[in-house]
Chain A
């Protein structure tokens, strides 16, 4: 029995307590492997779903399939695992910034199933974000098993996300960079080492199970100087497309929230609309890896008009799927929209300047993908590395950097916050390490309490009070009721200064007459940012803290600065 108990708590094994960094690396291997497996599992089941449903595609009622899938996935999320819809990455970032990476165990599989239903049936969404969420949840739960502290847990959550992305794209660097740039937002060696290990583990798992294939291989491109100049235009187009997608996704979300139907009906409506679009433009259906491959090879034969239409159709379909309650990520749709935008741009160029020897259109498809990813996520590095790795083409690096950087900058102008973070920032819940918001949210009123105030009673005479002043270190004296102990008001030394040297007043005045009853108070569970705002508005330097009408202590800006500095130093070291 005892041995069993020891097995249940691996955190108590001495071998794991030898060195924290070694322990983290070991756990990173485990987490990377598990999330890699999750990614492979989703990928395989998507392929299976696709093959199984392929036979039904040419029936006239096939447009209902995305509706059924989306409705089932919404029902599953809402009724069975009781999680909100959405793609999952914001949830991971939220848990990292607010709860030290704590996530529920069921999150490690819920999104896999729901996104499989949505995408497999033809909904326009990507399998990456659900895999990231699963990987992160797996990491979080393994970290909990080893009873790691918050900082280590956050790193392991990052490992899960990195392993997932690495595995699904067979792209270790992209996984690493995505995890650090988007999920953690903190470039530090303590994070990078385990995350790199997890990426390797995830990639290796995917290579063992699926073979070392480059997702979108292509022919060699010969890029001329003019092509690089033309990239700037592509960057602008992809920035516009990403802003459009961001806006449309958000507004769809707003519209569907107002619709007075249960969530699965909404999801079904969205899916149905996608299915109808899919009848005319089948490219919008599913995660779209197959058409992507054709486009990069330069074998996509539709004309300029259709391609342009497809860009908008895909944007619309993605917003309909995700905004109305389907489950999945925006990664793959971004890639598809990006390559469609690239194709459009290329065909436009050829139409305008037919004599210029432009590079193959597949190259522009690649660049458009990078532009969209960078623009949507505000993560230029992720865009650059992902495209290099999934296409195995290093020769496009220069235009790739230009497109990614310009697209990110432009999107930053129009949408200051990336799509993933927007909701969090609006709620004030994005707490990146080392920032003011992070420090203020970590400190609590309880920790700043100064308890060296001497509490006085309301019926005390001024004479007795003067004896108390002699011994006190503070200028503030809280007054409470003798019988109930409730807080009544404050006396500041300034209030009694006029009477201090007038002995006639000593026995004539009780404190209840002098005290200030109109005091701004702070409650124990107030947010510090709110407390600080109150202090600034009222020009106060200290305020009394009250809990259930009793005085607890004072909170002052001086102590706050002291603790704030301590906290900042402790949080930003290493």
Chain B
């Protein structure tokens, strides 16, 4: 195979100058011809493995990167869906009927329900302003493919033992594939809720499409602040 020096260095995850020097000194099974590096993939792979180095061709690398990327709020909410008029008079019954609506067929819903309750027993997930974010303590990498947030508007506000003691009227059930994703989604959601106008908007019980477009706006704002 033939690659140019810069790509070669990227494949080996080494500085260009190191690869250049190693080729010159004959320490790596690569031949130079002009700016090209000629090598046999299998030999180089074995060599890299024996020397504790990484070697992967450029296209394989990109695939890996996508898996490690973080999910944003909007796609998670799109997967999770938006539901109105969730019935129930207390935390347990509300969570029970919300879990039944979750668009995740493969999951053990009874188990998930118990895990959500377990988390609530620790301390309430009502974060104030009438919003609650129920979630299980551990992430669910095996049970779901993508992180998701299911938005549930309650039929009537209930007491969630929230931090500010205000009755909760909307729940965002947060299920994530990894802790990192969980924290990322939680912090983005918290950023939205911190904005009073957003909560006012939620109190109008918006339908799915307008909620999602509002989320998209807020998220753009968030990314702008970051940059």
A→B interface (CB under 8 Å): 17, 100, 148-152, 442-444, 446-447, 449, 467, 470-471, 563, 565-566, 569-571, 573
CB neighbours (8 Å) of A17 from chain B are 31
Q: Report if A573-B50 is in contact (Cβ < 8 Å); known contacts: A149-B23, A150-B24, A150-B25.
A: yes
B60 interfacial contact with A, CB 8 Å: no
Question: Which residues of chain B (14-43) have a CB below 8 Å from chain A?
Answer: 14-15, 17-18, 21-28, 31
Closest approach, in angstroms, between the C-beta of A294 and any C-beta of chain B? 49
Whether the pair B26, A569 counts as a contact (CB closer than 8 A) is: no
B→A interface (CB under 8 Å): 14-15, 17-18, 21-28, 31, 50-53, 225-226
CB neighbours (8 Å) of A151 from chain B are 25-27
Whether the pair A569, B52 counts as a contact (CB closer than 8 A) is: yes
CB neighbours (8 Å) of A570 from chain B are 22, 27-28, 51
Closest to B225 in A: A467
Closest to A445 in B: B17
Closest approach, in angstroms, between the C-beta of B134 and any C-beta of chain A? 27
Contact of B25 among A100, A471, A563 (CB under 8 A): A100
Q: 6 additional contacts, CB 8 Å, given A149-B26, A566-B52, A566-B53?
A: A443-B18, A447-B17, A467-B226, A569-B51, A570-B51, A573-B50
CB neighbours (8 Å) of B24 from chain A are 100, 149-150
Cα distance A103–B5 in the bound complex, in angstroms: 27
Whether the pair A148, B26 counts as a contact (CB closer than 8 A) is: yes
Give the interface SS of chain A, mostly helix, strand, loop or mixed.
helix
Cα distance A17–B225 in the bound complex, in angstroms: 58
Most buried by B among A449, A563, A570: A570
CB neighbours (8 Å) of A150 from chain B are 24-26
Cα distance A149–B24 in the bound complex, in angstroms: 5
Most buried by A among B17, B24, B26: B26
Whether the pair B15, A446 counts as a contact (CB closer than 8 A) is: yes
CB neighbours (8 Å) of B27 from chain A are 151, 570-571
Closest to A12 in B: B33
Whether the pair A152, B226 counts as a contact (CB closer than 8 A) is: no
| Sampled A-B contacts (21; CB under 8 Å) | A17-B31, A100-B25, A149-B25, A149-B26, A152-B26, A442-B21, A443-B18, A446-B15, A446-B17, A447-B15, A449-B15, A467-B225, A471-B226, A565-B52, A566-B51, A566-B52, A570-B22, A570-B27, A570-B28, A570-B51, A573-B50
Cα distance A565–B53 in the bound complex, in angstroms: 11
9 pairs of A and B residues whose beta carbons are closest in the complex: A149-B26, A151-B26, A150-B25, A447-B15, A447-B18, A569-B51, A570-B27, A447-B17, A446-B17
Cα distance A446–B14 in the bound complex, in angstroms: 12
CB neighbours (8 Å) of B52 from chain A are 565-566, 569
Cα distance A566–B26 in the bound complex, in angstroms: 15
Cα distance A442–B18 in the bound complex, in angstroms: 9
Cα distance A531–B22 in the bound complex, in angstroms: 22
CB neighbours (8 Å) of B226 from chain A are 467, 470-471
